[in-house]
């Protein structure tokens, strides 16, 4: 018995924010953003478009792509740090809007590694025989927790959602998943207020504590060491060599992190997928959006070996090796 990825989907806001737009908002330049991050544009949701809007659309697409109906889904897992509300979960909203009746649904918080964490949970549920089919979604609206006066973060992030349907199969599709965390580094990338440690107050609002705070340089250092290391572990567990990887789809945080990880792993740049120029860093949504785009662009063929890797808030990180089996 194995688990295969049967369907993919993605949904992005229409509004495009360019580097030139940002030049008018903060002291930055297209040249700085492009050379330091590789980002040119990002998508930004409207005020009245919550995360669930894009999660529902991406989820619906993934179910259709899998040739299934919402009633075929046994569990919904949404990875996000920007849910519609603290509770109820965005997972419950998605399941209800897709007409899934009483299907169990919940959110998980694992920063930019959220999609791989969700994949690990779904894979384990299916292998344990608990459920046959899972819908997993990575969705973020980082624009809504971005400090638009802080040039060190506001040029980086974007909004969007990506989804996948995982189902039991006689074939093996998900060959390995490895995930890790180190909570001692939490304050290098976090949102200080709004939880039980620092509830919303006049003080937290005045001091801009409901926004993402990041020590970019430190996060960068960890990302470029942890992502290649865990990718090697996942490849070893899968019994796959680096040469056998047809496409590497890393979390899209920074083009320099993507290139460095590819180099450290010894994967030719032609086999490393990047769409950061268009969408920026969409956190938990970035891997499934990139995966869906690579698939739509015909960059993935039946039987291909795909390596996924992520690093993010927590710190959390992870990698997965997937054999693409659609038939």
List interacting residues with ligand UT7 (CB under 6 A): 28, 32, 36-37, 112, 151-152, 155, 189, 216-217, 219-220, 223, 253-254, 257, 281, 311-312
We find the least distance from the C-beta atom of residue 30 to ligand UT7, in angstroms, to be 10
Please give the full DSSP string across 63-132, using - where no structure is assigned.
HHHTT--GGG--EEEEE-SS-SSSSS-HHHHHHHHTT-TT--EEEE--GGGHHHHHHHHHHHHHHTTS-S
If the CB atoms of residues 173 and 262 are measured against ligand UT7, the closer one turns out to be 262
CB-closest chain residue to ligand UT7: 216
* Beta-bridge partners for 319: 178, 309
Residue 255 · residue 37 · CB < 8 Å: yes
Residue 138 · residue 287 · CB < 8 Å: yes
If the CB atoms of residues 206 and 217 are measured against ligand UT7, the closer one turns out to be 217
CA atoms lying within 13 Å on the CB side of residue 292: 26
If the CB atoms of residues 11 and 254 are measured against ligand UT7, the closer one turns out to be 254
d(CA 154, CA 152): 6
Per-position b or e across 144-176, b if 16+ CB within 10 A of its CB: bbbbeeebebbbbbbbbbbbbbbbbbeeebbbb
281 carries an active-site annotation: yes
- Strand 213-214 to strand 41-43: parallel, antiparallel, or no bridges (unpaired)? unpaired
If the CB atoms of residues 94 and 285 are measured against ligand UT7, the closer one turns out to be 285
We find the least distance from the C-beta atom of residue 75 to ligand UT7, in angstroms, to be 26
If the CB atoms of residues 175 and 310 are measured against ligand UT7, the closer one turns out to be 310
Q: Quick one: 49 exposed, middle or buried, by C-beta within 10 A (0-12, 13-18, 19+)? A: middle
Catalytic residue among 19, 92, 112, 254: 112
Catalytic residue among 19, 120, 154, 251: 251
We find the least distance from the C-beta atom of residue 158 to ligand UT7, in angstroms, to be 11
We find the least distance from the C-beta atom of residue 154 to ligand UT7, in angstroms, to be 7
We find the least distance from the C-beta atom of residue 285 to ligand UT7, in angstroms, to be 11
Catalytic residue among 19, 120, 275, 281: 281
Q: Which residues are catalytic?
A: 112, 251, 281
């Amino acid at each position: 018995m194995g688990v295969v990825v049967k369907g993919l989907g993605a949904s992005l806001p229409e509004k495009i924010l360019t580097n030139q737009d940002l030049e008018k908002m903060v002291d930055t330049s297209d040249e700085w953003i492009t050379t330091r991050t590789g980002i040119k544009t990002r998508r930004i949701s409207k005020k009245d478009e919550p995360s669930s809007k894009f999660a529902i659309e991406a989820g619906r697409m993934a179910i259709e792509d899998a040739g299934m109906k919402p009633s075929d889904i046994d569990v919904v897992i949404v990875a996000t740090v920007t849910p519609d509300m603290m509770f109820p979960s965005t997972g419950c909203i998605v399941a209800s809007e897709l007409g899934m009746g009483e299907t169990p649904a919940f959110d998980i918080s694992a920063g930019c590694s959220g999609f791989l964490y969700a994949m690990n949970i779904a894979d384990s549920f299916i292998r344990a025989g608990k459920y046959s089919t899972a819908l997993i979604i990575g969705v973020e609206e980082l624009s809504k927790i971005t400090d638009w006066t802080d040039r060190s973060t506001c040029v980086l992030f974007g909004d969007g959602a990506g989804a996948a349907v995982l189902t039991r199969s006689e074939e093996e599709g998900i060959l390995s998943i490895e995930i890790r965390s180190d909570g001692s580094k939490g304050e290098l990338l976090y949102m200080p207020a709004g939880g039980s440690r620092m509830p919303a107050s006049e003080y937290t609002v005045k001091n801009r504590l409901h926004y993402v705070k990041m020590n970019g340089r430190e996060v960068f250092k960890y990302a470029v060491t942890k992502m290649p290391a865990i990718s090697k572990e996942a490849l070893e567990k899968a019994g796959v060599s680096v040469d056998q990887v047809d496409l590497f789809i890393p979390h899209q945080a920074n083009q320099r992190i993507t290139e460095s990880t590819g180099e450290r792993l010894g994967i030719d740049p032609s086999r490393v997928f990047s769409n950061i120029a268009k969408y920026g860093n969409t956190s938990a949504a970035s891997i499934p959006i990139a995966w869906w785009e690579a698939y739509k662009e015909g960059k993935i063929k039946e039987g291909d070996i795909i390596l996924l890797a992520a690093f993010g808030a927590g710190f959390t990180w992870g990698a997965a090796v997937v054999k693409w089996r659609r038939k």
